[in-house]
Chains A and B, each alone.
Chain A
């Protein structure tokens, strides 16, 4: 099996693991971490496809790789907004619960 296929299949498993955590973990911060794991799985899958696209003397297709850099930075920005939202939720309600209010 080639390196890119190996990592592509790993990426599929990472997406699954992240998805499970997103649903099964009750704490919002844990959901956020799981979502980041899921996102990283998507990135690795895309990166493996970029490696498959090696051609014209380049070791990988530079277009998906450039988009990956953009994606990682945007994922960080979204995570920062979510963390700020979560901290504000706790400051306001005193609890991190996402359940329905009684």
Chain B
């Protein structure tokens, strides 16, 4: 039974992947990609990665899909221009050969994998209680591989700076994205008033539960960012000016707090990002609380795009 479900998921996944790659126009490709992202979450559930499934559904399918849908809307009319540059039959044949070759080489690697598989789980389990969190993934993210998570938070901030830097000079410091006008008595405005309180509670629950159960700051930040975007799209609030000091403080507080905890570890526990005995859980909570506004703001602002309007400084 479980095998049957997996086979059906695999077939659908491959069909959708092919669809997104060969679909006639970009809108169909993006629509296929959104469904593909949701189906991938099912794959993660079957691969026993509930935390990954939540992240995939929220970010891989949800945010990336919404981002690409927004881009398709603004790219209408540019497809005809590039259709003339369609790859020649020879190029396509070479691409297909290359794709089959890479797939075959990877598949050979998969079938040749050593048995039993190498794993770090036996090293994680005995030391997990020292971190004070029961979810091994949160433990890995914030204790054993905290450096990766720190660099990731920094990468997000750099990506946001990258997106902002595509603004024309005259728009620097202005508001990003479009100013949405919606019917103030319409269903969108109604939902934008009704859903955010519920979304904020669910987001904060996922955030807090992430210590011991699937969930955590990334999934929580995505939900909070989505609530903010809903309010923007209903025209109830405008996007912030990117030269707003409070906004910029919120964006950098996560990485700064993370680095501060790291330096504290250097002084008190002898290594960067090491936690002193008995202080692991409180310090992890400090980092998580500081990262939540950073992740929420950066995810939403990445969706908003470069600053474009709102007058001069």
Do the two chains belong together in a single complex?
yes
Instruction: Tell me if B276 is interfacial: C-beta within 8 Å of chain A.
Output: no
Indicate whether A44 sits within 8 Å of B43 (C-beta atoms), given known contacts A69-B141, A76-B60.
yes
CA–CA, A13 and B302, complex, Å: 30
Complex interface residues of chain A between 3 and 49 (CB less than 8 A to chain B): 3-21, 23-30, 32-34, 36-37, 40, 44-45, 47-49
Which of A5, A15, A40: most chain B CB closer than 10 A?
A40
CA–CA, A13 and B217, complex, Å: 32
Instruction: Tell me if B162 is interfacial: C-beta within 8 Å of chain A.
Output: yes
Number of A positions contacting B (CB below 8 A) = 80
Contact of A63 among B20, B79, B124, B160 (CB under 8 A): B124
Query: B152 near A73 (CB under 8 angstroms)?
Result: yes
CA–CA, A40 and B78, complex, Å: 27
Expressed in whole angstroms, the minimum distance between the Cβ of A84 and any Cβ of chain B is 4
Query: A76 near B64 (CB under 8 angstroms)?
Result: yes
Number of B positions contacting A (CB below 8 A) = 97
Contact of B110 among A8, A37, A58, A95 (CB under 8 A): A8
Contact of A6 among B10, B75, B91, B218 (CB under 8 A): B10
Contact of A52 among B17, B68, B117 (CB under 8 A): B117
* Interface SS majority for chain A: helix
Expressed in whole angstroms, the minimum distance between the Cβ of B134 and any Cβ of chain A is 12
* Interface SS majority for chain B: helix
Which residue of chain A has the shortest Cβ distance to B71 in the bound complex?
A83
Query: A76 near B40 (CB under 8 angstroms)?
Result: no
CA–CA, A57 and B99, complex, Å: 38
Indicate whether A40 sits within 8 Å of B119 (C-beta atoms), given known contacts A18-B17, A20-B96.
no
Q: A25 to chain B: which residues have CB within 8 Å?
A: 21, 87
Query: A72 near B95 (CB under 8 angstroms)?
Result: no
Query: A20 near B21 (CB under 8 angstroms)?
Result: yes
Which residue of chain B has the shortest Cβ distance to A80 in the bound complex?
B302
Q: B218 to chain A: which residues have CB within 8 Å?
A: 69, 73
Expressed in whole angstroms, the minimum distance between the Cβ of A96 and any Cβ of chain B is 4
User: Which one of B1-9, B226-234, B242-250, B264-272 contacts A?
Assistant: B1-9
Q: A32 to chain B: which residues have CB within 8 Å?
A: 68
Query: A87 near B60 (CB under 8 angstroms)?
Result: no
Indicate whether A37 sits within 8 Å of B155 (C-beta atoms), given known contacts A14-B13, A56-B122, A84-B162.
no
Query: Which 9 residue pairs of A and B lie closest in terms of their CB atoms, listed nearest first?
Result: A53-B119, A16-B103, A21-B21, A77-B159, A52-B117, A66-B140, A12-B106, A62-B136, A23-B95
Query: Interface residues, chain A, CB within 8 Å of chain B?
Result: 3-21, 23-30, 32-34, 36-37, 40, 44-45, 47-63, 65-70, 72-81, 83-88, 90, 95-99
Q: List 13 A-B contacts (CB under 8 A).
A: A6-B3, A14-B17, A15-B102, A16-B102, A20-B95, A30-B29, A37-B20, A52-B119, A54-B48, A56-B122, A67-B148, A76-B59, A77-B302
